[in-house]
Structure formats: structure tokens, C-alpha cells
A and B are shown apart, each in its own frame.
Chain A
Amino acid sequence: MDAFQNLLLGFSVALAPQNLLLAFSGSVLGTLIGVLPGVGPVAGTAMLIPLTFSMGPTGAIIMLTALFYGTQYGGTITSILLNVPGEAASAITCLDGYAMAKQGRAGVALAIAAIGSFVGGTIATIALVLAAGPLTRWALEFGPVEFFALIVLGLSLLTGLAGKSMIKALIMGVVGLLLAMIGMDPVRGLPRFTFGRMELMDGIGFVPVIMGLFGMAEILENAERPFAQVVLARMSSLMPNRQELRASVGPILRGSVIGTALGLVPGMTGSASSFLAYVAERKVSKTPERFGSGMVEGVAGPETANNAHANGALIPLFTLGIPASPTVAVIMGAFMMHGLIPGPFLFKEHPDVAWGVIASFYVGNAILLVLNLPLVGIWVRILQVPYGLLSGIVLGFMVLGAYSVSNSAFDVAVMTIFGVVGYLLRKLDFPLAPAVLTLILGPLMERSLRQALDLSQGSMAIFTESPIAMVLLSAAALILIAPLLRLAWRGRSAPESADAS
């Protein structure tokens, strides 16, 4: 009942004309970012944060979260029409989505993806509403000791973002934490690693760093080859027939559950959800051999899962203050720029903001469903804009975004430097996502560690005195040790199997 009343309060905020307009703008911009090659959701969200400076915190976060799940819709469009995923979570959709497009069923694939995304996003938001009460009540008991342990656990789960090499992911995690050390020390107020530059006193801006590492690095990578023009698949009627709709019901429900559940786990990416949903559909299908040839289930399952994941990933952010993915970390950064700390206190101190934003997820998802089907033609035309023109415009926006954060050309230089760093790190196969998360969580982690040690007058024993912290830290240790144990086990079993053979 409590949740229901809170949600009603949220709808009164989300349905205010100004917030409706912001949800609409965020959805459109998000879809655009998802559609555009070379601007992923992380850089895109960071790039548009300066647009929200003149808004109140509720409107700003409504726009940025709408932008976030809008990118999921946009990514689908290029996967289906071009066989090029706009973002990683839509990569698996290429298999059946593009096959459907080649058969002239691109419209149906896009419509099913939009319906699935709407249902997935809505179910994940219901989960958020239900989880918000109990999780925040639990988290309100947290002091700095428990909060530090929680952040350590959150960061340990980020080993899921490791990609091919765990060592490289850990290196990037430490690099992010080191970048977070630049600026004033959070407890004593002494400058660290500022090299006498006033611009670094407040720390290195996460917006220019993220735009550089993700957006600019992508543009530099694309500039290696001459800019190419895209070739589009044929479009057809948008309306799926009854048989296609019936075939999509099961995958949409399964995708919603998979995406919401995996979205809760920090470090689990949207692509993991969509891939798992695809595998699940193949497993339950009577004709798994036909997947890849244009099966509507191969679009409905993954597309639902990735949108449910995007909304589900906001649950740990809203309830515990832990971002579950790089884009959510950027949204957390935006919260902080607007003077709010996401987590249990947000519900207590700013219920209108917390519930207003949650209610706006329903509104945003509905807007995307209504908006995107009729607008597919426009997105398709945008895709045909030459990349030489597009990259110039995107770079112009990046300069604007970096400058506007603190009205300083120094941030444009920071973005450029991190663009080069990001480009080289990509070449060296380093995953960049762990750096983003630790860059944003680093100051919170250090502050809670030092506050905890201040309480105990420097004694580390304080971490063993809190049962919650002990459980969280033990879980983190297990997660970090697990890959090493797995490696050792593989090493032991390899000679045994060689002996057996």
C-alpha cells in the first residue's frame, strides 16, 4: 500500500507538463544516440548532462534516465536494419532481426522489439517499486562501515565487466580509483595530484573523462578508415500478424524476468541479459535450428531482456546507491552534480524526486512505444547522414558538453587527452567500463573507509564488529578469489584429463 501511495505521488510529479516534455526529449535523444554509430549510451549520457544544468534535479534525472533506456530502443534499429548493433546489448538481435529485414520483415521486427522493450521495461519498473521499500529500510541501517563493505562488494561484482582479461579489468578499476583521487582529499580537504592547477582542485570532471574514453576514442577508431556510407535493408508493414504476436508472448515474458534479474547484479551487462534470453529461447524452441534465419522469438526475447535489464539496473542505484553498469554510473554522477546522493536517503529526504523519477520510467517507456513505431522512418533517414558530417557534429557537441560542465576550456583539453588514452587502451584490449565505475564510486569508497576508521580511531577491527559488513566483505572476497580458484582447478584437472586420455 505504501509503495502504491508513493507511486501515486511519483505520477503526480512525472505527469507534470514540464517533466512529461523532459521525458519525451530524453526518449528522443536517447533513441538518436542509440541509432548513431560511434556514440554509445555512456558517452551520450555524459555528453548531455550539461543540458540539464538549468533544470531542477527531478527534471534532469527524468530526462537522463529516459535518455538511458531510449538508447536501448535506438540500438535495436541499427541491429535490425544494418546488421550493426548501435550498442552492445543489441548485438544478438542482429542474428534474427537482420535476417527478418532481408526477408522484408524489418517493420515487424522493429515493432516486436518495441513492444517487448515496453513490456520488459514496465515489468522491471514494477520490480523496482516493490523492492524499493524493503531494500531502503535495510540500507538505512548502514553506517560508513557497512557502506564501505557494500561498495567493495559492488566493485568486486564488476569482475563481470572483465571481458577477455581479468588483470586488465582490475588495472582499469585501479586507474579509475586513482583518477578519483585527484583534487581535494574528502576528509582533510588537502589537495592531491593537482600539480598546482586550480582547475583540478574540485577533482577531474567525470563528464570530459567519460566522453573522451568512450565517445572520442570511438570517433578516432572510426577515423582509421575512410568514412563509409551505410546500406539499409528494405522496410515493410510495421504490424506483426497474429501468429507473430502469439509467438512473441513467451519470449517477452521470459526476457522480462531474465533482464530484470540480471540487471540487479552489478557488473552484469545488458549484452549478458540479451544473450542469455536468446539462449533461453533456443532451448525452449521446438525448432532451435531455425534461429538465425529470421525467427521472431530471436528478436522478442533479447530485446525485451535488454530493456528490462536497463530498468532493472536502476534498482541497486536507487535503493543502495550502487551503480550496476557504466551508464548507470554516469547517471549517478548526474545525481551528485545536482546535489543528490542516490540510495536509501533519497527516498527519505527527497521522496518526490525518487518516486517522480521511478514513475517517469512508466511514462518514458510508454512514450518510446508510441513514438518509435511511427518515427522509424525518420531514424532510418538519420542513419543515411554521411559519417563525415555526423562525426563533425558529434565532436562539436562533445566540445560543447565538456566546456559547459564548468565553463572551462581546460575540460576540452582533458577530454581530448582521455580520447587519445581511450583510443590506445582500446588498441591494447583494455575494458574501459571498470574505470568509469571506480571513477564515480572511488570518492564514496574512500570517504566511507576513512569515516569508519575515524570512528574506530584507526582500528581495522571495526570491520569485523559489524555482521552486515562481515557478510558483504566475505562475499566480495569470495567473488574476487573465485576466478583464481577456477584457474587453479583447471590447472589441476588438465593434467588429470591428459592422463585419462
Chain B
Amino acid sequence: MSVQRIHQAAALVLLGIAAFVMWQSWGLEYYTKLGPGPGFFPFWLGVGLAALVAVWLAQVSRPAGRPKEGAFLPERSGLLRIGTILAALGAMAACMDLLGFKLAMFLFLGFLLRIVGRQSWWVTAVVTLLGSVGVYHVFGRYLDVQLPAASIALLARFGL
């Protein structure tokens, strides 16, 4: 896919978002006796976004406004690294309340440092322990930020 096509596709996605915003705002009260309702501002923002994106789409579709060609996405190994980081973050968001902060962060940091960052075992162990158990206690005790404990009874029994 050429870079120009990617830009055009992005413009179409943004146009879709603008249309969705206008449609959603239409369902909200547009104007009341006292003035604009909750739908007024988002509706006009949707219109503004659509107009601006249409101009951008026209710009990138003209031969003079064509974006520079080149690789848009990185090579396979780069994509793999990015995908791995995102998967780790997604898993962290999904499991944090279930496994508790200490275990989830321990696994998250351990994976990122050892598998993605290729750090030695001992560096990984020290950083993951400090970043999970250490941070949990420092944040809870000194900063009044309560991080989640495991909601699985078995894990909770182990103090996780």
C-alpha cells in the first residue's frame, strides 16, 4: 500500500469519526430555551472536523500534495517488538485487578526486561522485585495510593 493510500485511508477513518460524532450529538438536546444544549458544541465540532478532514483528503489526493513515499511501518522485527509491548500492556490492563498489582507488575516487568529488553537474569530479578513489591509498599504506605490486591482468593491468601 502506498503512503498516499495510507493517508487517504486515515482521512476516511477521521471522516467516519466526524460523521459518528454528528450522529451521536443529534440524539442529544441541540438547543434549549436558555441557549445551547449538550448536543450543540459536539455537533459543530463534528462538522468542523469533517470540513477540515475533507480539505486534508483533497490535499493528499492532489499530485502536488502527495506525501513522501517510503516505508510507513517498520520491518518485521520492529513490528514484532511493538506488538509484544502492546500485548504486554493489554495483558497488564486485563489482569491487574485479577492477579493484583504485585504479581501482575512482576510478570509485566519480567517479560519486558528479559524477553523484549534482553537484560540479564539478575538485573531482571532485582528490577522486577523493586518495581512490583517495592513500589506496592512505597505507594501504599507513603503516597496513599492503594494499588490493587489479587481478587483470586488463593493468590490473596499468599499476600499478593
Contacts and interface: CB of A to CB of B under 8 A. Distances in A.
Given A171-B56, A395-B85, A413-B93, A457 B35 contact: yes
A206 to B, nearest CB: 17
A174 interface: yes
A292 to B, nearest CB: 28
A419 B118 CA distance: 23
Contacts of A413: 90, 93
A185 B108 contact: no
B85 A219 contact: yes
A485 to B, nearest CB: 17
Interface stretch (A114-122, A223-231, A237-245): A223-231
B152 interface: no
A419 B89 contact: yes
Contacts of A220: 82, 85-86
The DSSP consensus for interface residues of chain B is helix
Contacts of B112: 391-392, 395-396
A428 B10 contact: yes
A392 B148 contact: no
A264 B91 CA distance: 44
A420 B86 contact: yes
Contacts of A391: 112, 116-117
A101 B88 CA distance: 40
Interface residues of A, number: 63
A388 interface: yes
B116 A392 contact: yes
Contacts of A456: 35
Contacts of B32: 458
Given A167-B52, A428-B7, A389 B127 contact: yes
A388 B114 CA distance: 9
Interface residues of B, number: 71
Nearest to A169: B52
Interface of A: 50-51, 53-54, 165, 167-168, 170-171, 174-175, 177-178, 181, 185, 187-188, 190, 192-193, 216, 219-220, 223-227, 386-389, 391-393, 395-396, 399-400, 403-404, 407, 409-410, 412-413, 415-416, 419-420, 423-424, 427-429, 446, 449-450, 453-454, 456-458
A382 to B, nearest CB: 14
B40 to A, nearest CB: 8
Contacts of A219: 85
Interface of B: 6-7, 10, 14, 21, 24-25, 28-29, 31-42, 45-46, 48-49, 52-53, 55-56, 59, 67, 72-75, 77-78, 81-82, 85-86, 88-90, 92-94, 96-97, 101, 105, 108-109, 112-113, 116-119, 123, 127, 131, 135, 139, 142-148
A454 B89 contact: no
Contact of B49 (A171, A193, A449): A171
Nearest to A390: B117
Contacts of A429: 67
Contact of A181 (B45, B55, B118): B45
A267 B92 CA distance: 36
Contacts of B29: 188, 190
Nearest to B131: A396
Contact of B45 (A51, A178, A187): A178
Nearest to B109: A396
Contacts of A181: 41-42, 45
Most buried by A among B36, B55, B77, B94: B36
Contacts of A53: 143-145
A428 B73 CA distance: 11
A177 B45 contact: yes
Nearest to A50: B145
Given A396-B135, A407-B148, 6 more contacts: A175-B49, A178-B45, A185-B38, A386-B117, A409-B94, A454-B34
A410 to B, nearest CB: 8
B86 A416 contact: yes
